[in-house]
Chain A
């Protein structure tokens, strides 16, 4: 077993260890054992940092990949399939090592931060335990080498998110939120599960490698519609986890959880898992599937941005911006800007975590006041927070010199290229939405900064009757609080909460990722995470057969030139029409080959898209800069120079305003349709069950009661017990027949003679005829 594998296993198990220790013994350990959690995570981060170093820095190889697996379930020699095992395994490549480092780092910082933020909570120890199990499951997703394992950890992440959202379970809102989150995720998961099933049913394996290889070999037995369906269904998992439209509704509510949790789970890592998963399955997604993904991403980005404009809760704004940014990543994957999307994943993780932790600091300082309308002027009181928060905001808005600029620009560039290649039309909607959302982002983040940090403190403006919007525990305090008191009660947070902010803010600077502040492609990240070659070609598995000749055994995400045959050679190996296709795109592929440091895409369409994406790089920069500038200017116009009064505008466009304020009414719609619907259905069925299926027990009983002959001679319970009509007839026939027993012996004799006579007639007639 490779040493890195062993290390990664250690990393994986360490948080689990922390969970086990803390869940059982937190009451017995000093400080409820928070130092254990922090210490363990520190160790984990150290190891993953080492892995990161070895993989990315030392062996600077885009194709780096090591894997290890073991048999988990052995189904023996299955008839028709042969020996069948379900394996579990670990894979380490560039992406994994980067994610590993990122997750452990943020988790470590959140642990550290929480020691300050959660201090004094009565379930302090349990909180760290939950953080531990979450980190464990997240690392599991990152490390898994097969769909089944990913699904398992996927669910576990859902569980830990459930536990953490509902950490303050006495609050009904929290309880609702956690249930909502879990169910929404489940809906996504069944889609993902079906996708997994489609692939398994064809290849009898869950392992990525074998699925890639089989698809490349064109072993997919079903029609291409199924393959596309598989892609979209798998993507549904991402829709759930990464809060994409239409399953985004749970994420804003998830803010009921402790703020550090929001930073860790609902901003940086878990929601990113969806994107990570799509990246893992990227090369088996058919173009149709990719189109769906791209559009969903674009819609999400735009919708969330529009909603974020009008929210007043500081965390909700960030939540919707998270949704929006996740939309960007998904969009990026959809348009084939693979590297860019993942790049954005990482950068976003850092600056969004920074923003959340910052907001946490603010809330902490403001005594759990979350409504931005009653904040303001915090700049003076919390300089550290202000600085870091602003830097992260700039990154989020995508201003130059920030990490966010690099990644977002790359995505948008990819979108433009994609639209070009797909032949414009409706496909231009995607970049357009992308740019528009960029502007909105800049606007609402500007708004937030201004409302929170500039101007004067507005705590005193807070009307007492608004108290239902905020914590019961504090509104009394706030209502008699005068400006003076409010102003002085606010103070900068302690070091253990400040340090994470600084670190995260530092990681939002462009220099970390790329020497060129304008082009992420020049950075190590995008070099290390190049877009892999698809194995399903243009909605045609057979196309993938180009690769089988050589590369099938070890299909790393990418295929270096050295190993891949020239297109011509490939063309000989494949059918004529695909040969023509390749030939048609020949120069594109070739030129692209030089441009991109020797990566070769056997699927011409993909090659073209990547190429066009790079071509569109500068266009994207110009447009996006303009849009962002527009957004910031608007924010200034509205909130700094007060040229436009937000209230008035809101009244002016009231329907739109309400539409945005009420989050496009998605909750209401779901409440009215899905939830209400299933509840009603359940009620109906259970009624049906007790009344109809249960043999019309009541009906039978009633009929029997009504039945003339029925006297109390028959036990009601048995009558009820008879769950069908035959029983009913049995009774009644019994009631009728027993009347024959008149008690008069002469009638008995008559009966006998009648019987004899009847039989006689019967047989006599039979005799004659």
Chain B
């Protein structure tokens, strides 16, 4: 009963698990590099939710700090990623990840 009324750890974890799944799904299936990178962001955010939830339920600040840093890292990553993708677009005239496979085997 209480499970339904009050929001507990499990809900957070479930959400984050879903986010992770979405992120991975995006990474694996989307052709557009940008979308793929968004998928990566989702993964990171899934982790963030975990951290915050755990830090709330375990007490202690580590989780929060971690989440903050993850956000920062994600931002930096996004910047670099965009630069690379733009460069890719300059050369290949497309950002289709799956089509960029000149090096193999």
Q: Which residues of A contact B (CB under 8 A)?
A: 738-739, 741-746, 749-750, 753
Measured between beta carbons, the chain A residues less than 8 angstroms from B102 are 743
Contacts A/B (CB < 8 Å), 6 sampled: A743-B102, A746-B28, A746-B36, A749-B27, A749-B28, A750-B28
- List 19 extra interface pairs beyond A739-B105, A749-B27, CB under 8 A: A738-B105, A741-B105, A742-B101, A742-B104, A743-B102, A743-B103, A743-B105, A744-B97, A744-B98, A744-B101, A745-B97, A745-B100, A746-B27, A746-B29, A746-B97, A746-B98, A749-B28, A750-B28, A753-B24
Residues of A near B28 (CB, < 8 A) are 746, 749-750, 753
CB contacts (< 8 Å) of A750 on chain B: these are: 28
Q: CA of A741 to CA of B102 in the docked complex: distance in angstroms? A: 11
CB nearest neighbor in B for A737? B105
Contacts of A744 in B (CB 8 A): 97-98, 101
Is B24's CB under 8 angstroms from A743's CB?
Answer: no
How close is A117's CB to chain B, nearest CB, in angstroms?
Answer: 84
Kindly state the separation between the CA atoms of A742 and B104 in the bound complex, as whole angstroms.
Answer: 5
Most chain A CB within 10 A, of B29, B98, B103, is at B98
Chain B residues within an 8 Å CB radius of A743? 101-105
Residues of B in contact, count (CB < 8 Å) = 13
Within 8 A of A (CB), among B89-105: 97-98, 100-105
Complex Cα distance A364/B101, Å?
A: 95
Bound together, the chains give a CA A738 to CA B104 distance in angstroms of 8
CB distance from A753 to the nearest CB of B (A): 6
For B104, list chain A residues within 8 Å (CB). Answer: 741-743
- Which chain B residues border A749 with CB–CB below 8 Å? 24, 27-28
The CA-CA distance from A746 to B96 in the complex, in Å, is 11
State A745–B103 Cα separation when bound (angstroms).
Answer: 10
User: Which residues of B are found within 8 Å of A746, using beta-carbon distances?
Assistant: 27-29, 36, 97-98
CB-nearest residue of chain B to A711:
B105
Closest chain-B Cβ to A740's Cβ sits at a distance in Å of: 9
A324 vs B103: C-alpha distance when bound (angstroms): 88
Give the chain A neighbours of B101 by CB distance below 8 A. 742-744
Question: CA A209 – CA B63 in complex, angstroms?
Answer: 102
Assembled-state Cα–Cα distance A741/B101 (Å): 10
A742: B residues at CB distance < 8 A: 101, 104
Cα of A407 to Cα of B103 in the assembled complex, Å:
99
**Bound Cα distance A741, B104 (Å):** 6
A750 CA to B39 CA, complexed, in Å = 14
Which residues of chain B from 25 to 63 have a CB within 8 Å of any chain A CB? Answer: 27-29, 36
Measured in the bound complex, the distance between the Cα atoms of B103 and A744 in whole Å is 9
Residue of A nearest to B24 (CB): A753
Which of chain B's residues have a CB closer than 8 A to the CB of A738? 105
6 smallest CB-CB distances across A and B, nearest first, come from: A743-B104, A743-B101, A738-B105, A744-B101, A741-B105, A744-B98
On chain A, the residues within 8 Å of B105 by CB distance are: 738-739, 741, 743
